């Protein structure tokens, strides 16, 4: 037992250290290779900011997992790592050149298919023609939810760290060594990067980080809760509780856009983080609030693992009611749809609400349906805003007036 604890401590420390020291290197490399987000009139940051922070996370994660990989789960681990590398490459391409939304969805589905082919899938239903599509839907949905959550400094990396630690504790209940290794490696890597990404961020994660991280969280949730669950309530509830923050944020955005008669595919500054900013919280306070919610949801998930059916029902219903109330409260917060402009300048654009240092206007992300989060309106696209801001040229004085 003591040897196992030492291995876990070494793994976490190794991944944390690698990520912490690799991030400045990725920052330098991003400037050299053009993986940067340049400042503009509608952005908060005043200097060019690199986008390759996710590379430090994924490289550190892969190094830790390869050194401490569980030999008895070699097949499953191979599928997860192969899919992670695939989405890492997809994210690098998207950060540099951009990518059509349908193309991104295709590669996310391909990553899910690769993982399924190596034996990792949702097993609450034995019928494969139901289980396989359900797994693909879960993976693509969570991958995009985490991707869209990366709309403010320190948010996606911090919440992902908390989720990984919750999954690590769950691995102890189910005696899943593979889940313990994956969750600790990713937790250490995210925490090392968070030191450089916490508001105000010195480097952004980019899709090369958020896409594979979202995939890994979806895969670990399948391994940890949908394979060894004792009851149907645990089977269905635990993954949703653990990943509650990104799921809630995506649900809030979808419902409010439909309720307001706006296309779900249309981007905007209407995520939960933007609404909290509009309530008067600072970017750091918003990040800490969502961290706290993630911890509460994760703690509830751990409690449910060892509780009675009545206690499970009480927890699930209580959280559902609180989520509903919070959703209504946040949904009533006025958001600025018209000025949610973010444009892509060699990578994902990220900017903040006016006067909020460390936050980004919109997320620069593309929703599942394919549109950029925080896309500019037609007047901005057509250059009318720039024209309106141009100062009138002074009239030339006539010769008579000069006399």
Q: What is the mean pLDDT of residues 271-295?
A: 94
Q: Is 239 among the domain residues?
A: yes
What DSSP string describes 344-398? -SSS-----STT-TTB-SS-S-B-TTSPBTT---HHHHTTHHHHHHSPPPPPPPP
Judge whether 274 and 286 are in contact, CB under 8 Å. no
pLDDT of 17 over the 80 cut: yes
Confidence of residue 227 (pLDDT cuts 50, 70, 90): low
Structural domain harbouring 175: 7-374
pLDDT of 42 over the 50 cut: no
> What pLDDT score does 112 carry?
97
Q: Is 400 among the domain residues?
A: no
SS3 letters across 139-173? HHHHHHHHHHHCCECCHHHHHHHHHHHHHHHHHHH
Q: What is the mean pLDDT of residues 15-33?
A: 95
Q: Is 311 among the domain residues?
A: yes
Q: Is 399 among the domain residues?
A: no
Which among 182, 196, 245, 207 is positioned nearest to 91, based on CA atoms? 207
97-112, pLDDT tens digit by residue? Answer: 888 888 999 999 999 9
More confident residue, 400 or 232: 232
Q: Is 107 among the domain residues?
A: yes
> What pLDDT score does 70 carry?
83
Long-range contacts of residues 99-106, Cβ cutoff 8 Å, at least 24 apart: 100/370, 101/366, 101/367, 101/369, 101/370, 101/371, 102/370, 104/211, 104/366, 105/140, 105/368, 105/370
pLDDT of 245 over the 80 cut: yes
Confidence of residue 114 (pLDDT cuts 50, 70, 90): very high
- Residues facing 314 on adjacent strands: none
Judge whether 193 and 23 are in contact, CB under 8 Å. yes
Q: Is 222 among the domain residues?
A: yes
pLDDT of 347 over the 90 cut: no
Q: What is the mean pLDDT of residues 275-303?
A: 94
Confidence of residue 6 (pLDDT cuts 50, 70, 90): very high
N- to C-terminal Cα separation, the chain: 98
312 to 115, 327, 337, 376: CA distances (angstroms)? 31, 22, 39, 44
Q: What is the mean pLDDT of residues 130-150?
A: 93
Q: Is 397 among the domain residues?
A: no
Judge whether 115 and 219 are in contact, CB under 8 Å. yes
More confident residue, 43 or 288: 288
Judge whether 36 and 48 are in contact, CB under 8 Å. yes
> What pLDDT score does 341 carry?
40
The number of domains in the chain is 1
Q: Is 278 annotated as a binding residue?
A: no
> For the whole model, what pTM was predicted?
0.82
Q: Is 318 among the domain residues?
A: yes
- Cβ-based neighbour number of residue 397 at 10 Å: 8
Q: Is 372 annotated as a binding residue?
A: no
Phi, psi of 333 (to 5 degrees): -70, 130
352-397, pLDDT tens digit by residue? Answer: 444 444 555 444 455 554 444 544 343 333 444 444 444 455 554 4
Cα gap 343→351, rounded to integer Å = 10
């Amino acid at each position: 037992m003591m040897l196992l604890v030492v291995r876990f401590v070494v793994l976490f420390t190794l991944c944390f250290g690698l990520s912490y020291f690799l991030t400045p290197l990725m920052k330098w490399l991003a400037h050299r290779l053009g993986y940067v987000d340049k400042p503009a009139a509608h952005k908060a940051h005043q200097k060019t900011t690199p986008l390759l922070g996710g590379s430090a996370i994924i490289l550190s994660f892969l190094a830790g997992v390869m050194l401490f990989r569980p030999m008895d789960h070699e097949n499953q681990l191979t599928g997860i790592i192969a899919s992670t590398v695939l989405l890492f490459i997809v994210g690098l391409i998207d950060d540099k050149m951009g990518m059509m939304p349908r193309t991104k969805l295709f590669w996310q589905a391909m990553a899910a298919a690769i993982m399924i082919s190596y034996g990792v899938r949702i097993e609450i239903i034995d019928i494969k023609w139901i289980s396989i599509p359900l797994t693909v839907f879960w993976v693509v949905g969570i991958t995009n939810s985490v991707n869209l959550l990366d709309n403010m400094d320190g948010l996606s990396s911090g919440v992902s760290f908390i989720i990984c630690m919750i999954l690590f504790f769950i691995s102890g209940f189910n005696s899943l060594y593979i889940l313990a290794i994956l969750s600790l490696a990713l937790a250490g890597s995210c925490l090392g990067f968070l030191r450089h990404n916490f508001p105000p961020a010195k480097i952004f994660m980019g899709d090369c980080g958020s896409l594979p991280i979202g995939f890994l969280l979806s895969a670990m949730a399948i391994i940890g809760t949908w394979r060894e669950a004792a009851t149907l309530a645990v089977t269905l509830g635990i993954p949703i509780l653990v990943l509650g923050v990104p799921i809630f944020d995506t649900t809030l955005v979808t419902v409010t856009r439909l309720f307001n008669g706006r296309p779900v595919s249309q981007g905007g500054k209407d995520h939960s983080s933007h609404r909290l900013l509009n309530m008067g919280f600072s970017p750091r306070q918003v990040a800490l609030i969502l961290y706290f919610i993630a911890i509460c949801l994760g703690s509830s998930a751990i409690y449910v693992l060892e509780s009675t059916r009545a206690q499970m029902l009480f927890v699930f219903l209580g959280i559902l009611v609180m989520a509903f109330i919070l959703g209504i409260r946040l949904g009533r917060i006025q958001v600025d749809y018209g000025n949610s402009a973010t444009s892509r300048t060699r990578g994902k654009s990220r900017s903040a609400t006016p006067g909020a240092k460390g936050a980004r206007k919109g997320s620069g992300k593309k929703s599942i349906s394919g549109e950029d989060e925080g896309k500019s309106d037609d007047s901005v696209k057509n250059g009318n805003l720039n024209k309106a801001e141009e100062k009138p040229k002074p009239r030339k004085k006539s010769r008579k007036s000069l006399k």
